[in-house]
Amino acid sequence: MTSIAIVTGASSGLGEELVRRLDAGAFGRLDQIWVVARSAARLDELAATCATPVRTFALDLTEAASFDVIERALAERDDVRVALLVNNAGFGTFGEFADMPAGDNASMARLLMLAPVELTYRALPRMAAGSRVLNVASVAAFVPQPGLATYSASKRFVLDFSRALDEELGPVDIHVTALCPKFMRTAFLDHAGADDVAAGMARLTGFEDVGRVAERGLAAARAGRALCIPSPDMRAFYLAAKLLPYPLVARAERALLSVLGQPPRNA
Ligand SMILES: NC(=O)c1ccc[n+]([C@@H]2O[C@H](COP(=O)([O-])OP(=O)(O)OC[C@H]3O[C@@H](n4cnc5c(N)ncnc54)[C@H](OP(=O)(O)O)[C@@H]3O)[C@@H](O)[C@H]2O)c1
């Protein structure tokens, strides 16, 4: 049996960190790690520094044909078992929905929602008892976020999709974990646009360490936990968002953003 992990968005940030930890044995023995992102050069660099054999897939996961490539690779050998699938690739554009660059909203929706659905569906036949799916959501999933509407709604989808799937697959000991980090200092913010909005939100939540998020996420996946919110303050926020009516949470968030120097939105 060839035991593999597949990690999307492995060319930088959290994905790269996850691969390094997998390479160091954080998920037990793996025969191969398959890494996916658009940047072939960065994937090759990563592969060259791993002790575990790494297979690179330079693919754009907003394109439907990319999923066929991975499915075909999975079908090459009968003995491949997907021990772990990490759906991590993502980007988020901040700002008013109507002002976003053309195509950003649709790309975000495709990458954040469709890609995990497609990859999970295609990897499932290669999974067995003990296999895990780790889906990277975000604390942005907890309440609708004006200024980040498509991103936060897409991450909500990831959260709900993961939890429902975990219930469905739990009886055969395949578990699905939704990982909900707050801001991390990765390339994510470089591509986020609308610096004032992003900076205001980052001031509101603060940052957490990408290494710690990776460690917690992998531990939760190994343990078969459906939800992982690494930051304690965000666990409190999650609870508040479940208990309080949305307009109240939205008002509190606007007030906090305003105190922290960002102009109130939708006031
Ligand atoms: N950083 C944060 O503050 C934060 C907070 C909460 C959740 N998250 C989530 O964490 C995940 C990882 O983000 P990060 O912080 O590590 O950001 P990052 O450093 O920018 O990494 C994003 C990864 O996604 C890949 N990617 C982007 N578009 C892609 C596409 N069309 N096809 C294939 N791969 C693509 C990028 O590789 P290429 O550019 O080479 O394709 C890169 O490897 C994302 O899902 C993000 O939404 C981030």
Tens of pLDDT along 78-134?
Answer: 999 999 999 999 999 988 899 988 899 999 999 999 999 999 999 999 999 999 999
Predicted confidence at residue 266, as pLDDT, reads 36
- Counting residues of the chain whose pLDDT is more than 90, the rounded percentage is 82
Verify whether residue 182 is a known catalytic residue. no
* Higher-confidence position of 181 and 248: 181
Residue 221 has pLDDT above 90, yes or no: yes
Sign for the CA dihedral angle at 155, 157, 163, 165 comes to negative
Distance 79 CA to ligand 1 centre (A): 30
Predicted confidence at residue 189, as pLDDT, reads 86
pTM, 2 dp: 0.95
Predicted confidence at residue 181, as pLDDT, reads 98
How far is the CA of 265 from the CAs of 47, 139, 201, 257, in angstroms? 44, 19, 12, 9
Ligand 1 neighbourhood includes 3 CB (under 6 angstroms): no
Q: Are 80 and 53 in contact (CB under 8 A)?
A: no
Provide the 8-state DSSP code for 37. E
Ligand 1 neighbourhood includes 38 CB (under 6 angstroms): yes
Ligand 1 neighbourhood includes 12 CB (under 6 angstroms): yes
In this prediction, residues 220-243 reach a mean pLDDT of 96
Q: Which two tokens stand for residue 155?
A: 């991450």
Atom 17 of ligand 1: nearest residue by CA position: 188
Verify whether residue 155 is a known catalytic residue. yes
Residue 195 has pLDDT above 70, yes or no: no
**Which listed residue (121, 151, 238, 242) is catalytic?**
151
Domains and CATH numbers, the chain: 2-259 (3.40.50.720)
Predicted confidence at residue 194, as pLDDT, reads 59
From 6, 161, 184, 195, give the residue whose CB has the most ligand 1 atoms within 8 Å, as the site to mutate. 184
Predicted confidence at residue 265, as pLDDT, reads 44
Q: Are 79 and 126 in contact (CB under 8 A)?
A: no
> Please, what is the Cα angle at 22 between 35 and 151, to 5 degrees?
55
* Higher-confidence position of 192 and 101: 101
Predicted confidence at residue 9, as pLDDT, reads 98
Q: What is the mean pLDDT of the chain?
A: 93
In this prediction, residues 48-65 reach a mean pLDDT of 98
In this prediction, residues 46-73 reach a mean pLDDT of 98
With a CB cutoff of 8 Å and minimum separation 6, the contacts of 231 are: 139, 181, 182, 208
